[in-house]
Each structure stands twice: as C-alpha cells, then as structure tokens.
Amino acid sequence: MKRLLSAMLLIAGLGALTCVHAEKADATKPTNVEADQMQYDDVKQINTFVGNVVLTRGSILMKSNKMVVTQDPAGYQFVVMYAAPGSLASFRQKRDGGPDQWIEGQAERIEYDDKNEIMKLYSKARMRRLENGKTTDEVNGEYISYDTRAEFFTVHNTSGGDSKPGAGRIKAIIQPRADTTKAP
C-alpha cells in the first residue's frame, strides 16, 4: 500500500510538472537573431546562423553555436540548434500564470517545430521549471519531447526518443508544493 501511495504521489507531481504554460504574447513579437555569420538560401527557404547565436522573441531566449531555420510554404518555421563541442544549446521562456515563472532547457541539439509547437531536446537533455528564481521541478534524460500546446512532455533514456533497458536512467526532481488551503 505504501508503494502504491508513493507511486500515485510521483505521478501527481509529474502531472503538475507538465502543466507548463508558455507566454502567449511571445507569438506576436518580432524575432531577433545575432550571430557571427549568416547564410540565406532564398530558394530553399533555409537560414543558417553560425557562431555565438542568440535568438530573442519576447521572453524567449535561445542560445547555440549554430542554428538552422527552415520555413515551409505556409510560413511555419523549423529550428535546429546545435551546441559547440563540449557545451549545450539552451532556451528559456517566461510562463503565463505569474510574474516570475520560467521554463528552461539545455541539450546538445534542440529542435523546435513552430507549426506543431513541439520542442525536442537531444543528448544530455535537461528541462527546469523556475518560480521566483528557484527551481521547482527538473527532469534529465537523453531525450525530452515537450509539446507546448498540450503542456505535456516525455523523457527517455536514449537520444533516439525511446527507452531501452540498460541504456541509462532518467531523473526527475519534484519539489513539494505549499498547501495554500490551510490557514497559517
């Protein structure tokens, strides 16, 4: 019975972790990119930025060594960010629901599908939820898929997006939530 209760509490905690609301106002903001170099292929609609790449759009901040942006005929963008050897690409975005709530992630490669609003983190993947400057929840694995629309993510122990026995372990740290229904 004690194991069942512990498992139920862990599942409830993970459910709270997946409730990550990205700031909706970011969608209406202009995208600004800084890099050491840029190449643009107008025919293929591919833009490549290389060297200390920094992308900002509203509260979104993305950093990598190389970023490739492909645009489809409907105007949706697919972004792939690559880390420099020995480092990690990263993103950070303000969340709706409070004045100081953030989601951030790091990995060797990060892909973002603008049309489906899915972020995929590959190799040494890590996502954290922050509130008032403090980490409230954190997950680590070789692969994280984060669906920003459904507010749902999965974590796997291989960078191929699946889990295999003996391939390593994922890790989740879920902080206790304050009970706001009790009087002080």
pLDDT at 153: 81
For the segment 34-74, what is each residue's pLDDT rounded down to a tens digit? 999 999 999 999 999 999 999 998 888 999 999 999 999 99
CB 96 within 8 A of CB 120: no
Backbone torsions φ then ψ of 117, nearest 5 degrees: 55, 50
- Asked whether residue 18 carries a pLDDT value surpassing 60, the answer given is no
Give the distance, in angstroms, between the CA of residue 118 and the centroid of all CA atoms in the same chain. Answer: 9
CATH class held by domain 2-174: mainly beta
- Asked whether residue 23 carries a pLDDT value surpassing 80, the answer given is no
Give the distance, in angstroms, between the CA of residue 11 and the centroid of all CA atoms in the same chain. Answer: 20
Lowest mean pLDDT among 22-36, 40-54, 84-98, 162-176: 22-36
